[in-house]
Structures are given as structure tokens and as C-alpha cells.
Amino acid sequence: MPTATPDPFARLKAAQREAWAAFAPVEINTIIPAAKLVAFAQVAAGQRVLDVACGTGVVAVTAARRGASVSGLDLSPALIERARSNAETAAVAIDFTEGDIEALPYPDAAFDVVLSQFGHIFAPRPALAVKEMLRVLKAGGRIAFSTWPPEHLTGQMFALIARYAPAPPPGSEQPAPPALWGDPNVVRERLGAAVTGVTFERDTLLAPALSPQHTRSRQERTIGPLTKLVESLRNDGTKLAALRADLEAMIGEVFEDNTVHQHFLMTRATKV
């Protein structure tokens, strides 16, 4: 029997599993965008729907309340626990599973719709994530997801994190930048000839905040990659202060009337 090839990103995924456990308080900001994604994906009663990298289940619950038969998958057991609680409160039955988008535990062509809200973008190998999402989608089914454009706040934040992060070991395989998923040209290339009718729509997530400093502080506690970076800089006060100043300046550019305006991109396509 052939030996399984070790996952070069096993350590990264373990770190993601731990870091994203603190994300739950942010779900309130993603609930309205979840409804927009589910509507954009044209989810209907009776359809089989998969919410990939489902987090606390806001998309899954929204789809289930439309009458769809929903499954949700996430790398973080803490977020899966929160998702199950959300489904129970909403009185909807959803099959939540802890798992990896790069190795989805579902058979081929199992779903009518595959969704992801700001989640699949953290898979280190986009080609593998797309292959798996399309594998479990039936022919004629729809894939739809929300992502962060690289030129707007959240995409800029991920670029900022990359600039301040320690240099990777020479020759090591590196994960793809999450914000590239917000570039329509990149999305078209990644989906390729396996889909047709690629459609985009832009919208804005509105997050309440008392100040840019409040937003920066909250993000440090809840946004996995930023949380890990801040922890790594605890003994470098100068660099940590510079990171915080840069982030607060970026937030300040889209802060108005106690609201942070975060632009996002929705993509929809049909599997050939």
C-alpha cells in the first residue's frame, strides 16, 4: 500500500485551528452578508447545500431557514460547537463536521450548491480547494463565495500582516495570500473551464465601532492570523506599535459615523 504524502501545511492548519477559535464574537458582523450570499447563490428549499469553512454557521443557518438540506464544515472545533448552538437556537437541523477543505469528507456530486463566506480563502492551496469544492458539487450546481478584494481594508490588512510576519524558512512552500481571492481575474483563472456563467457582485459589510482603535483591538483578539502575529511581537514593542499604528491608519480611512465600511466581492458560477 502506498504511503500517504505528508501535508506540508499540517503545522499551518494546526495553528489556524487554534487561532480561529476566538472568531465567534465577530459573527454578528457577518450575519447580514450571509443573507446576501445565500440570496446571491439562489439557494432554494429542497436543495442540498454545503457551507465550506462555515465558522459559526451563519451562512448554513441562513440557508437551512430557506428550507435547504445543509451541511457545514470547518477546521475549528470551537467554531463548529458555536455553529451547532446557532442551529439549535434557530431550530434547524444541520450536519456540522470538523474537517479540512483540502480533503472534503463528502462523495462526488453530493451537493446542489457549495458556499463559503470569507472562509475558503485561507486554504493554503487554492487549486486543491477549488478541486474539492467542485468535486462535491453536482454538474449544473452552483458554487458561490464571498471574498475580500486586495485593494480594500481587509485585503490590505492581510498584506500588512504578511509584511510584519517573520520571513519563512528558505525553500519552504508558502500558502497563497487570502486576498487574491478578491481579484475577479484571479477567481476566473482559478475556477477555469470547470464552470460557466461566472458572475460577480460587490457589497459592503458595515461593522459598528467606537473608533479605529476599538476595531484594531477587537481584530487582534478575533482574527486568527493577526492574533498570532501580535503574540509573536510581544517582545518587540517597537515593531508591535508600528503594526498597530499602520492598522489603525488603514481602518481610519474607512471609518465614518461609528461604522467601519468593509467592501467585499461575491462570486457565483455553475459547474459544467
Q: Is residue 199 part of a domain?
A: yes
**Residue 102, pLDDT score:** 98
Q: What is the pLDDT of residues 108-124, one digit of tens each?
A: 999 999 999 999 999 99
Q: Tell me the torsion sign for CA atoms 112, 102, 148, 96.
A: positive
Asked whether 169 and 203 are in contact (CB, 8 A), the reply is no
The C-alpha cell that represents 258 in the structure block: 461609528
In a domain, 132, yes or no: yes
The confidence score (pLDDT) of residue 167 equals: 86
Residue with the larger pLDDT of the pair 151 and 6: 151
What share of the chain has pLDDT > 70, as a percent? 99
Kindly provide the b/e burial profile for residues 64-82, where b requires at least 16 CB atoms within 10 angstroms of the residue's own CB: bbbebbbbbbbbbebbbeb
- When pLDDT is averaged across residues 188-204 and rounded to a whole number, the result is 98
The CATH number of whichever domain residue 113 belongs to comes to 3.40.50.150
Q: Residue 126 corresponds to which cell in the numbers above? A: 487554492
Domain count along the chain: 1
* 227 in any annotated domain: no
Domain that holds residue 50: 10-150+170-203+264-271
Output the CA torsion 199→182→132→107 (10° steps).
-60
Residue 190 lies in a domain: yes
CA distance 105 to 262: 33
Calculate the alpha carbon distances from 214 to 40, 159, 270 in Å.
31, 21, 40
How would residue 171 be classed by pLDDT, with cut points 50, 70 and 90?
Answer: confident
Over the stretch 28-55, which tens digit does the pLDDT of each residue have? 999 999 999 999 999 999 999 999 999 9
Instruction: Indicate if the pLDDT at residue 2 is higher than 70.
Output: no
Residue 169, pLDDT score: 84
Please report whether residue 214 resides in a domain.
no
Is position 228 within any domain?
no
- Residue 270 CA neighbour count, 13 Å, CB half: 7
Query: C-alpha cell of 149?
Result: 478584494
Query: Is residue 14, in this structure, part of any structural domain at all?
Result: yes
Q: What is the pLDDT of residues 240-259, one digit of tens each?
A: 999 999 999 999 999 999 99
- Identify whether 124 is part of a domain: yes
pTM of the full structure: 0.95
